[in-house]
Amino acid sequence: MTDFLLELRCEEIPARMQLKASDDLARLFTEELAKSGLTPGAIDSFVTPRRLALIARDLPLQTAAVSEEHKGPRTSAPPQALEGFLRKTGLTQDQLEDRDGVWFATVNKPGRATADVLAQAIPAIIRAFPWPKSMRWGAASQTTESLRWVRPLQGIVAILGEDLIPCEVDGIQSGYATLGHRFHHSGEITIGGASDYAEKLRACHVIVSHQERQSIIAEKSAQAAAAHGYTVVEDKGLIAENAGLTEWPVPLLGDFDPAFLEVPPEVIQLTLRINQKYFVLRDGQGKLAPAFICTANIEAKDGGAAIIAGNRKVLAARLSDARFFWEQDRKTRLEDHAKKLERITFHDKLGTVADKVERVAKLARWLVEEGIVTPAAAVTPAKAGVSGGSAPTPEMPAFAGMTKSELAQLAEQAAYLCKADLVTEMVGEFPELQGIMGGYYARAEGLPDAVADAIRDHYKPVGQGDDVPTAPVTVAVSLADKLDTLVGFFFISQQPTGSRDPFALRRAALGILALSLQMPKMFSVRDLTLRWIFYATSSHANYDSSIPLKKQFSELFFTLMGDVSLPFFDLAIKNDTLDGIRSLFEEYEPAKLASFRSNDAELLDFFADRLKVQQREAGVRHDLIDAVFALGGEDDLVRLLARVHALQSFVATDDGANLLAGYKRAANILKKEAPQTPSPLRGEGRGEGERGEAERPAIDVAHPHPTSEGGTGLLPTLEGEGNSGLSYTPEIAEAALIAALDVAEPRTAQAVAAEDFEGAMAALATLRAPIDAFFESVTVNDPDPAKRTARLALLARVRDAVHSVADFSKITG
């Protein structure tokens, strides 16, 4: 048993790739050795900017001898078959064994020297290495077949015990020699083997362990900060990055002019962290300190004075730029910045960002006027992606006194300004500060806090787990912005497909759900899309009677709608109520309306899918979600979700479980008896016609559409009214079930109509005992066809009553 050292030395490996590469090397090495039956005891991995290395512990010097048995042709087979087998095994015929008329060969493979295995494995590993990006270099790159590596590969050290493993890749020979620190140690170092590798390099100013360099950076920067009364803002990613940029990390503290602190702290932090890879510091009060820590790669002759001076100068230049932007941007009011949004294309078919902002502002106002976003703000604030309803309600912010019209006005104002910072210098320099800068600029020009907050936070929630805004102005703008994006891209048929979602519509939909589900009322998708079309296509706000009508509509109108009839134009200008628009479409453009409708259905499905994903992640059973969604006909997701939650509670009860069992039995019998009769889901929603549920002829239920051609199903259609239609005296349990249904059906229907799903479930629960009793004592499949038909119809009533709440057939278990 002995240890093996491998070092692959190259020019500077990008910091972000090092840890993955280190894992890949260990994995490839293990796999390659496993092919020869070798398993190292343990693998230690090392990586610096200039080397990838590993030490494999306790390798045997030989691989184990193996004996393999091969089955050959039958002894009666033609001689060519036998010859082929002998060639393959390298044996002679007398070495074969005849077992029941079949030749068997036993091939003994002696163990191989581990050194030979390694000599073959190393080039294979190097050639197969999965760098995210690799390159060719040097004279060998005359051909594109030359070796690829992340940066030029310069040396290979491969030592088993104390012995060199000779190997060669593209002219690079393995050896004992490596290099130390680029500046602290000139000339080659000779490595003895695994045992002295790390220490020899340490003596030459290279710490080969990434982890150790990270610890040094963390500890020494904390010490340097503490010496000045500061603390380091934790940033594990930045520690790892600096460990990936240094072989001998030396954290150094420098300061910057406190006058720069007038610039928003987010800007300073980004400048430090992203541009300069410096650590950010806080003072005793927790405020941003006018200092930074950079991580040098040398023990400088002057103790680092020149390095600190140089870095201070670079930082000062960058912060001066930032301060210049901060001052420059504030010379222009946000509303004037916003005018420049006309120059930025949002999407070819959806106009400029200015067009988008116009729609968002109108949608935001509409959301408030419809009562979808209310001054009372969120009822149930939540984290994105977490089911609404469980989070505690925080104290209501001070919006309680706001009236609806004040809220509408603020939401519209904030929406008009929400994208203005995109054209500021600061956001041009730091795109990740979009929204944040707008918030600062809004406050600086004295806009109301609610508006500044809305501008700052309207991109939220940006992903699962992000905070969901609760302030009403913010909610209105955030919701309107995402709705505009989603409806717009659906409208121009840019729905996500498979893994492609270039406009991040899934994320927008999840954001919309997270925002909506904390509101007391949901928007209707149908109303929303009609609104959007109207806002998108009319330049209503700027109506000017001197301009011909056609010009009142933006170009977008024609892009989206193609030609429309002139009376529509005339009237659209004067009708900005939803009903007005709807009737206009119905009268003049029925075909267009129909195509919007199919769009609505797709959009609704998309929301439903997102809601399922979101609820599943929140732990709601997906079969229950499916059961509720299968009903269709409902485009209010808040109501759908209420049903899912009610159903979840119900099926957990005894009554629920038993009713489900009874339902399944009934449904199975019906399926067997009338396979052609489709499951009559009440897709058209509650309240079919004037007759109440109770007055419906019982037998009708088996054929929910009595006007459809009778007699196509196996069940005959009986005329008759209620129980009196029975041509025989029902058995006690049968009569009891009829009576129970007569009561439960209207109660369920009323509860559903009142959106009281707990009530609907409770009404259904009353059916449990009568159903159990019915199955206990009544034979459905009675020889008398009249009884059989009537009982099947009764079971259909049970099924349909249940289906008025959810499609129980989707529920598993």
Partner 1 sequence: MAEGKALSFQDLILTLHAYWGKQGCVILQPYDMEVGAGTFHPATTLRALGPKPWNAAYVQPSRRPTDGRYGENPNRLQHYYQYQVIMKPSPANLQDLYLGSLVEIGIDPLVHDIRFVEDDWESPTLGAWGLGWEVWCDGMEVSQFTYFQQMGGYDCKPVAGELTYGLERLAMYIQGVDSVYDLKFNDAGVTYGDVFLENERQMSKWNFEVADTEKLFRWFKDCQSEWRQCIDNGVPLAAFEQAIKASHTFNLLQARGVISVQERASYMGQVRDMAKGSCEAWMQSNGWTA
User: Contact residues for partner 1 (CB under 8 A)?
Assistant: 11-12, 14-16, 49, 133, 135-144, 150-152, 154, 182-184, 245-246, 276, 278, 294, 296-298, 300-302, 306-307, 309-311, 313-315, 317, 321, 343-345, 348
* Nearest distance in Å: CB 150, partner 1: 8
* Nearest distance in Å: CB 286, partner 1: 26
Contacts of 202 (CB under 8 A, 6+ apart): 208
Give the Å distances, CA to CA, from 127 to 22, 49, 91, 267.
16, 20, 35, 44
Q: What is the DSSP string of 121-145?
A: HHHHHHHT---SS-B--TGGGGSTT
Contacts of 60 (CB under 8 A, 6+ apart): 1, 38, 114
Q: Which two tokens stand for residue 506?
A: 């899934």
For β-strands 172-175 and 153-160, DSSP reports them as parallel
The greatest distance separating any two alpha carbons of the chain, rounded to the nearest whole angstrom, comes to: 110
Q: Which two tokens stand for residue 761?
A: 């479930």
Nearer to partner 1 by Cβ, of 300 and 613: the residue is 300
Nearer to partner 1 by Cβ, of 135 and 177: the residue is 135
Given a contact cutoff of 8 angstroms between Cβ atoms, the answer to whether 261 and 238 are in contact is no
Looking at residue 189, what DSSP letter applies?
A: E
* Nearest distance in Å: CB 429, partner 1: 13
* Nearest distance in Å: CB 344, partner 1: 7
Nearer to partner 1 by Cβ, of 29 and 260: the residue is 260
Question: CA 294, CA 276: separation in Å to the nearest integer?
Answer: 8
Nearer to partner 1 by Cβ, of 154 and 494: the residue is 154
* Nearest distance in Å: CB 16, partner 1: 7
Nearer to partner 1 by Cβ, of 337 and 768: the residue is 337
* Nearest distance in Å: CB 271, partner 1: 11
Q: Which two tokens stand for residue 767?
A: 């059916």
* Nearest distance in Å: CB 505, partner 1: 22
Nearer to partner 1 by Cβ, of 278 and 808: the residue is 278
* Nearest distance in Å: CB 335, partner 1: 22
Q: What is the CA 405 to chain-centroid distance, rounded?
A: 36
Nearer to partner 1 by Cβ, of 11 and 31: the residue is 11
Task: Find tokens 């015990």 and name the residue.
Answer: 161
Given a contact cutoff of 8 angstroms between Cβ atoms, the answer to whether 570 and 591 are in contact is no
Q: What is the CA 397 to chain-centroid distance, rounded?
A: 30
Closest CA to 39 of 30, 48, 27: 30
Q: In what order do the strands lie in the sheet with 250-255?
A: 231-232, 279-282, 288-296, 250-255
If DSSP states are collapsed to H, E and C, what string results for 263-294?
A: CCHHHHHHHHHHHHCCEEEECCCCCEEEEEEE
Nearer to partner 1 by Cβ, of 14 and 111: the residue is 14
Nearer to partner 1 by Cβ, of 132 and 397: the residue is 132
Given a contact cutoff of 8 angstroms between Cβ atoms, the answer to whether 575 and 530 are in contact is no
* Nearest distance in Å: CB 651, partner 1: 55
Q: Which two tokens stand for residue 228?
A: 């000045």
Question: ω before 706 within 30° of 0 (cis)?
Answer: no
* Nearest distance in Å: CB 175, partner 1: 15
Nearer to partner 1 by Cβ, of 108 and 142: the residue is 142
Nearer to partner 1 by Cβ, of 213 and 482: the residue is 213
Q: Is the dihedral of CA 354, 355, 361, 364 positive or negative?
A: negative
* Nearest distance in Å: CB 620, partner 1: 44
Question: CA 629, CA 577: separation in Å to the nearest integer?
Answer: 30
